[in-house]
Structure 1
Amino acid sequence: MIYKVLYQKNTIQNPRRETTQTLYLNATSLVDAREKIEKNTPYNVEFIQELTGNSLDYEKKSEAFKITEF
């Protein structure tokens, strides 16, 4: 499954919408996605969303859509 992860690169400062970034991740579950991010990055995760159906099709049309692999 593909997951959309919203995160902040900086864990010291308070999260701000203007600095929120996105990555896309292939994982078997939401828990697996969070474990991969925590193990491989220092990011402050705000939200993880499973993408399916129309949501996935919409995100694939974006220029920023690229599956991150660790």
Structure 2
Amino acid sequence: MIFKVYYQEVASEVPVREKTKAMYIEAETEEEVRKKLSGHGFNIEFVQKLEGKYLEYEQNHQNYQLEQF
């Protein structure tokens, strides 16, 4: 499964919408995604499972790239 992770790069800062970034990660569960990202210092705001037409839309977007952790 592919998950889209919304995050802030620095966990110690207050989340600001304009600084929110997104990355795509392949994993079996949301818990696995969070384990992969633990220790990287990100402030994870939301993890969203992508499937169906929404996944197709994201894959056709120019910023789509699976991250390897």
Q: TM tier, shorter chain? A: over 0.9
Letter in 2 for 1:32: E
CA deviations 1:6-34 (Å, max 9, x no partner) are 00001121000000000000001111111
Moved over 3 A (4+): none
Q: Give the residue type in structure 2 aligned to 1:55.
A: Y
1:61 paired residue number: 60
Aligned-pair identity in percent equals 35
Q: 1:33 — aligned with what?
A: 33
2:24 maps to 1:20: no
Matched residues in 2 for 1:3 and 1:69: separation? 12
Aligned AA (1:65)? Y
Deviations 1:15-56 (A, max 9, x none): 0000000000000111111111114x2100000000000110
SS of the counterpart of 1:64? coil
CA distance in 2 between counterparts of 1:25 and 1:11 reads 19
Gap runs ≥5 in structure 1? none
TM-score normalised according to structure 1 size: 0.94
In structure 2, stretches of 5+ residues that fail to align are none
**TM-score under structure 2 normalisation?**
0.95
RMSD: 0.8
| Cα drift, residue 67 of structure 1 | 0.2
Aligned to 2:4, what secondary structure does the other structure show?
A: strand
